Amino acid sequence: MRAIPPTAELVIIGGGVVGAATAFYAARAGLRPVILEARPRLCTLTTPASTGAFRLQFDNEEETRLVGRSAYLFNNFAEITGQTGYDLGLRVQGYLWLTTEEEGRERQRRLVARQHAWGQTDIEMLDGDEVRRRFPYVGPDVIGGRFRAGDGFLDPKALTLGLARASGAVICTDTQVLGFKIGAGRVRAVETARGRIETERAVIAAGPLSGVVAAFAGLDLPLQTVVRQKVVMPEVPEVPAQAPMTIDDDTGAHWRPALRGAYLLYTDPETPPTPPAQDVPTDHRFAFRLLDPASPVSVARVTPFWRDVWQRASAHWLLQAGQYTMTPNRRPLIGATAVEGLFLNTGYSGHGIMGSPAGSELLIDVMTGRRRENPFRPGRAFLPREHDRL
């Protein structure tokens, strides 16, 4: 829209995948959403820097069920959304978690037993020989792994733009939110750099900037933002194009086929939180940590062909960076706040691509009174959890 609308039935703050998914499910529920995005285009900050993948291998039942609903959307995208303008590029090639340690293998066995108890019985435990039989590129030091063939990858920009188009939402780019008008304990309007939009319902879906936006309404969210980087190698002939997401479960380093090469990532648990930012810096040392076989977190540790890539030294790479929006137990904040009419859909802790479609459906069900049970409600107690690197 060239001009912002003076009123809206529902204002969604944030034009990444979470905002687009919120708009889509709002429209399905009969609401007329307006998306506000501070930047010139949708999907240009955190979402495109993601891995672009989904899995049903979690350390908790709630996220397993949540992402299971999202996966149904991914696998039936055109039919559910009613549009074919954006191709998700869906590749169901699996997630493979590898370990070289006996302790790691036992940890995997315990986790898979719990996953099976939750009904996710298609997750397999493989010994080292079976891993190498199925995936010959895996190194001899690997003694076991867990694998689910139904996990996969997609294009996060196509997902976001496809959901936004299917929602029929009014989209206002270059529209920075500056505050809220609140009266008698409820939201009355959203203040932007382009003017005021009167509304009685708004959703904060601004990713790493969600805490900043919530503070305009006097809310202090339990969120931290942590920089995560991605190495993009557009052309690497050694990478098997049909390989699954391949993860060193002992270190957290992982890669997946992408373009004619790979994306490589590492979620270092020692990375300190930093303030949310529109411009997230990259660090050239990150690529060397992942690619140099001498590094303790090198991807070559469990997949030796990366040694050849390093020695050849001719493969191009570039870095992207975004910020995970982290909650204390790494599960999202979805639902109503203390300000009546103001809702949250944020804090996916690195699982936004895979979790936000079902999380947005849950949010709209809660907003419209269709559902009361909500394990991700804001204000809940944050219980201890087993560490899940990805």
Q: What is the pLDDT of residues 142-194, one digit of tens each?
A: 999 999 999 999 999 999 999 999 999 999 999 999 999 999 999 999 999 99
Domain with CATH 3.50.50.60 in the chain: 10-84+156-222+328-367
- CB-based contacts of 271: which residues, under 8 Å, 6+ apart? 226, 227, 228
pLDDT band for 385, please (50, 70, 90 cuts).
low
pLDDT of 384 reads: 59
**DSSP H helical ranges for the chain:** 17-28, 61-75, 77-81, 102-117, 128-134, 156-167, 210-215, 285-291, 305-312, 352-367
Which whole-number Å values give the CA distances from 37 to 45, 321, 371, in the listed order?
11, 19, 28
pLDDT of 1 reads: 76
**One-letter amino acid identity for 123?**
I
> Tell me, what DSSP letter sits at residue 281?
P
CATH superfamily of 95-150+225-326: D-Amino Acid Oxidase, subunit A, domain 2 (3.30.9.10)
Phi, psi of 14 (to 5 degrees): 130, 125
Q: What is the pLDDT of residues 256-284, one digit of tens each?
A: 999 999 999 999 889 999 999 999 999 99
**33: its two tokens:** 């959403």
Architecture of domain 10-84+156-222+328-367: 3-Layer(bba) Sandwich (3.50)
Between residues 298 and 381, the one the model is more confident about: 298
Phi, psi of 96 (to 5 degrees): -120, 120
**330: its two tokens:** 């790494």
Domain with CATH 3.30.9.10 in the chain: 95-150+225-326
Which whole-number Å values give the CA distances from 121 to 45, 46, 124, 140, 150, in the listed order?
36, 32, 8, 27, 11
**Mean pLDDT to the nearest integer, 80-103:** 96
> Is pLDDT above 70 for 387?
no
